[in-house]
Every structure is written in C-alpha cells, then in structure tokens.
Amino acid sequence: MAWTKYQLFLAGLMLVTGSINTLSAKWADNFVAPGCGGSQQHSFQHPFLQAVGMFLGEFSCLAAFYLLRCRAAGHPDTSVDPQQPFNPLLFLPPALCDMTGTSIMYVALNMTSASSFQMLRGAVIIFTGLFSVTFLGRRLALSQWLGILATIAGLVVVGLADLLSKHDSQHKLSEVITGDLLIIMAQIIVSIQMVLEEKFVYKHNVHPLRAVGTEGLFGFVILSLLLVPMYYIPAGSFSGNPRGMLEDALDAFCQVGRQPLIALALLGNISSIAFFNFAGISVTKELSATTRMVLDSLRTIVIWALSLTLGWEAFHPLQILGFLILLTGTALYNGLHRLLLSRLSRGRPPAEEGEHERLLGGPRTAINDAS
C-alpha cells in the first residue's frame, strides 16, 4: 500500500527530529567558549543542564496532548476513548528512572562518538527482555532470545570498533571505554523505566503524549532543583567545567552568552524531543510499530553519516558489521522477520492492524523511547 503525503511527512519528521536530537547535543559539546569570571576557553560539557532542556521538551508534549484533545472535542464524529482518572504520582518512579538514565547518557555522550552512542542504546533490548521475564512474568519467544543474543554480539563488535579506532585529544581511549560502559549502564535504568510504565501506568489508559509530558514535568522540576547541590559537589575527572564540580549551570549560561550558537544547539535539542515523541506516536498510529522501529534504525545511519561528514569521528569498518548485527537483533526481537515472511507468503498481514495506535486512546507502545 502506497503511503500518503501525511504519512511520508510523519516518517520524515521522526527521522529528522530524532537525528537532530542526538546531533544537536553533540554539536553543543564541540563548542569552546570562556565561562564566568574570565575563565579560559573550554568545551561546553554540561550534561545535566542539557538533560534539563530535554525534559523541558518532553514537558511540552502536554501542550500537544491538550491541543489534540481540544481538536477531538470539536469533532463530535471523532471516536476518542475517554481518559480515565489517574494519580500523576504514578509517573514519579518512571520519571526518576528517565532522569537518571538520560543524565548518564548525556555524560557518556561527552566521552564517546555520536554513532557509538546511538548504536549502544540498542542494549535496552537485552535488559527489557530479561526484566519483563523476571518482573512481568512474560515468556519470550525463541526469536526474541535470538534477538537478545544478536544484540549482545553487536554490542561487542561496536565496542571493539571503538577500541581499535583512532582517538583524538578530546576523546582518549579511557574516556571512550568509560562512555560506552555508561551508555550500557543507562540502558539498564531505561529498561527498569519501561517495566514500571508497563506494570503501573499502561492499565490506566493514559495517552503516551500525556505520559511523556507528565514525566517531563517531574524530570524538569526535580533535575532543575538538583542543579543547586550539583554546583557544590566535586566530580574530579567526570567534570567538564573549570571548577571541577558535578555541574556548573552558571558557567553554562556564561558560555551561552559568549557563544550564541550553543543556544541554537540547545534549542534544537529541546524542540526536537517534543516533535520526535509526537512523530513517533503518530507513525505508530498511521503506519505501524514496525515502521517506527525501522525509522529509528535509519536514524542511527543518518547520525553516523553526518558525524563522519562533519569530521566528529573516524570511520571504522567494524562499525558497519556491528550495526548490521544490532539491526538483526532488533528485528528478531520485534518480530520483523515474521512480518517479512507474512508479506512474502500472503501479502499484507492482517496482524499489522493491531500495531496501529489512535492519537487519543487505544493500544500503546513504549511511552518514551527518545530520552
């Protein structure tokens, strides 16, 4: 079936905004500017402040949700499932996981390449699968176990490519290894977030945009408050600011004032998160969850290609092999092989209809896969 112009627009919006989200964060890290008090020029390494900006972008999804609901209310013939009352504090535990995992990933992004960052995030499949078996009592199919094994193999290959790649003065080998390990550790926390969302949130029929926005509100408020004690906590080698503290928001604002392009990168990060979440949910509704997964994999290719073009990283052929293995693992875990076999044997499978999602109610996918 041919895609409509609107479906093509949504697919392009998801691909572009998802790529901008990672690339804008990496772009901000590459800027060098003086900080407060006439300090020497240094890189813009403020991962926790960047995480605050990301949660601000997620928070804006609440506005999109209420706009959609108002639009649906103005069309009596539109079928909209009523939103059940729920306690917003249900989102606090997932929001804390999201806040912790996102902050760790932004720290790791300062240490490793954007393409490795994106590829290694595929480790979430491993831990989500294991936790769903342990805590949700789910039984995984053989193809899902094979997908987990393939993902592990792909992670090993990507990690090996990082070890063998040339490293500049900005990314030393020890930093790259630490960054890669932090990304994988963050996926454990993200997996816990997904299990919590499925166990406690999904049964309340909360729309994903509303869920993302509520978690964004919690993350924005809590992490903004935590910036105050972080200003006084020594961080040693993990610190990227002249004072050597865990985070120095004042130094970040001074750097933004002296280099306005940093503000543009931060704005790109904030706005892309909101549009990416909306586009991802809309793609699942208009096309399928499988299409959303394929577009997310294409995002890795775009980030990788642009990073090579901009000279942010060096090419290593092992990354191609690692990406292909990771892609195979993701496809096996999400059942893409069954969809392809079904198409080859019977054409468009009826089961795909179950993957679709209405913008205001209906079956859900993961609440937030863009942190």
Q: pLDDT tens digit string along 222-242?
A: 999 999 999 999 988 778 888
Mean pLDDT across 169-192: 86
The pLDDT value recorded for residue 366 is 47
Residue 23, both tokens: 């690339």
Amino acid 168: pLDDT: 56
Does 181 or 169 have the greater pLDDT score? 181
Going by pLDDT thresholds of 50, 70 and 90, the confidence category of residue 81 is low
- State how far the Cα of 266 lies from the Cα of 262, in Å rounded to an integer: 6
For the chain, give the mean pLDDT: 83
> What is the distance between the alpha carbons of residues 96 and 122, in angstroms, rounded to a whole number?
21
What number is the average pLDDT over the span 307-318?
Answer: 86
Alpha-carbon gap, residue 346 to 188, rounded angstroms: 38
The share of the chain scoring above pLDDT 90, in percent, equals: 40
What pLDDT is attached to residue 184? 94
**Region 328-344: what's the mean pLDDT?**
78
Provide the pLDDT confidence category of residue 105 given band limits of 50, 70 and 90. very high
pLDDT in the model for residue 248: 94
Cα 42 from Cα 259, distance rounded (Å): 12
Answer whether residue 46 shows pLDDT above 60: yes
Mean pLDDT of the region 15-38: 89
| Type of residue numbered 97 | C
Q: At residue 244, does pLDDT exceed 50? A: yes
Q: Work out the burial of residue 146: count CB atoms within 10 Å of its CB; fewer than 13 is exposed, 13-18 middle, 19 or more buried.
A: middle
pLDDT digits (tens, 9 = 90+) for 345-364: 765 544 444 444 443 433 33
Which pLDDT belongs to residue 150?
94
Which of 155, 160, 158, 162 has the alpha carbon at shortest distance from 112? 162
H helices present in 259-350, as ranges: 260-286, 289-309, 317-333, 336-346
The pLDDT score that the predictor gives to residue 35 is: 85
Q: Which residues pair with 32 in a beta bridge?
A: 43
pLDDT value of residue 228: 96
Contact 74, 166 (CB under 8 A): no
Listed in sequence order, the residues at least 6 apart from 260 whose beta carbon sits closer than 8 Å to its beta carbon are none
Q: What is the pLDDT of residue 282?
A: 79
